[in-house]
Amino acid sequence: MTGNDAYYGGVDPRHAGGPVSRATFERDLVNMILFDDRILLSDSIFFNNPTVLEHVRAARDAPSLFEHAIMRGIVTPTVREPVDSFADIARYVRRYELLGALPPGEVEELAARYSVAPGQFVLWPERMGDRYLHLLTTQLSDPVLPPRYAGSLIDDETWRATEWLRREVIAEAVDVERGRTGSGVRRGEIVKVVARIMGVLPYDPSALDTHAVFAAIAEHDPRREAVRNFFDWIDDLWHFNQASAFSVKPQLSAANPGSLALVPSPGLSSDPQPGAATWQFTAEERIPRFDVLMALGPNRLFELRDYGHEWAAASRALVNLPPDTPPTVVDTMRQRAERSLHEYARRINRATRAAAPKELLIVEGAVNVASAPVVTAIGELTAWRMSLVPLHSFLSIGAFGWWAFKFFANSTRKDTVQITRRPAGIVEFPTSPRA
């Protein structure tokens, strides 16, 4: 799939809520490969994520799915200085004391595994710290809760409780950065100031991250919840700042849904652009669970991705229709996008059926007959990992009664994915709940 549907990844492994699980990471990775054009990731994400390290090590001597995505240009690293390799990034990870870097040995291990085509690195625009400071000032500096946040999950009490963080902490971090570079602010410096004030600053600053700071704060400390909210806000605003700098869509973690109210809207601009598209495409399809898809192997998974060109083009054409498009045209385009997505999902399902053992096919047949419930909660995927059942077991299914049939029917290896495509703005697929 090609086009201008890249987004900036917001799955921060060092979020105050803690690292995502390997299952969550791999589910999002599979969904991204199948349904998105490409994702931009900050250089730090490649070296501060214990979940990524676990995923890479699980592949042993073969490249992991994440490594394949990098090599194929679907995952694109963004870097803060010109580099020729991941080894170059590893060298400045420690020099810059990037937020939550893994121990040096693990950083070097990952750098040796990652491989990227020449020229694939995307250099950060200049004055990123200035842009971030402007965003923080605009969204967080009001002494009272701004009317624009009315109706959100942020209330007056939460806003008052975070005032010292929004004003004093950010001001101190700005002073530090001004002495270092002359302007702007770094998220890592803000976190360090909070850690020092809370008395939990680690001996090694490079080991610092929002999750470690939050976890170190005593549970009875009345400031703890304010710190968590503040970390959620500065994290999501940081990701929005990165996305807007690269003119792509931000994908926010939404670990704290209230923080989404802070993100400027619509799109990547504070104001709608003349003639901007306003249509949205949302659809649900049932596809095999992510671990079933991963079992196909990276090469087959990327072959399946190639079948998604038609639905991607159809949905892109829909969301980019002019606002004054006649409703009949919109309906026709929407139906075309839905049909092409459904056909794409059928191809994915057929691929897994062809690769599955005979026993699994029988279980899926029972699921189809019984119309097993669809998982509607995005990201909260079923945890069934049933053993394969021999054919002769099904020959006596009548003896077990209806309850046995229902048990096997509900032991589905499929999940529902919801895909939302917008012309600009927050990408709502895939979501990444903390696990």
Q: Return the domain boundaries, the chain.
A: 7-123, 128-240, 281-421
Q: What angle do CA 188, 190, 196 make, to 5 degrees?
A: 100
Q: pTM higher than 0.85 for the full model?
A: no
CA-wise closest residue to 298 among 16, 15, 34:
34
Region 269-274: mean pLDDT is 36
Look at residues 49, 112, 42, 39 and name the one whose alpha carbon lies nearest to residue 70. Answer: 39
| Interhelix angle 298-306/327-355, nearest 10 degrees | 150
Residue with tokens 């619509």: 266
Peptide bond before 266: cis, by omega within 30 degrees of 0?
A: yes
Q: Of all helices (H) and strands (E), which one includes residue 50? A: helix 50-58
The span from the CA of 242 to the CA of 79, in Å, is 11
Q: Is the pLDDT of residue 3 over 60?
A: no
How much of the chain exceeds pLDDT 90, in percent? 33
Confidence grade of residue 414 (pLDDT, cut at 50, 70, 90): low
3-state secondary structure of 288: strand
Using one digit for the tens of pLDDT, what is the confidence trace for 7-37?
787 545 445 556 678 888 888 889 889 988 8
CA 195/CA 216 separation, integer angstroms: 9
Q: Are strands 39-42 and 122-123 parallel, antiparallel or unpaired?
A: unpaired
Cα–Cα–Cα angle for 430, 75, 302, rounded to 5 degrees: 80
Q: Which amino acid is at 194?
A: V
Assigned token pair, 415: 């999940």
pLDDT at 254 over 70: no
Q: What is the mean pLDDT of the chain?
A: 75
**% of the chain beyond a pLDDT of 70:** 70
Distance of CA 397 to the CA centre of its chain: 42
| 431 pLDDT above the threshold of 80 | no
Closest CA to 24 of 54, 57, 44: 54
Give 173's pLDDT tier (boundaries 50, 70, 90): very high
Tokens of 384: 């069934």
Backbone angles phi, psi at 50, to 5 degrees: -65, -25
Residue 293, exposed/middle/buried by CB under 10 A (0-12, 13-18, 19+)?
Answer: buried
The DSSP 8-state label assigned to residue 419 in this structure reads E
> What is the pLDDT averaged over residues 373-392?
30
- Considering only 158-172, 209-223, 332-346, 363-377, which range has the smallest mean pLDDT? 363-377
Beta strands in 360-400 (DSSP E): none
The whole-number pLDDT of residue 151 equals 75
Q: Mean pLDDT across the stretch 258-265?
A: 72
Peptide bond into 103 cis (omega under 30): no
CA distance 201 to 213: 8
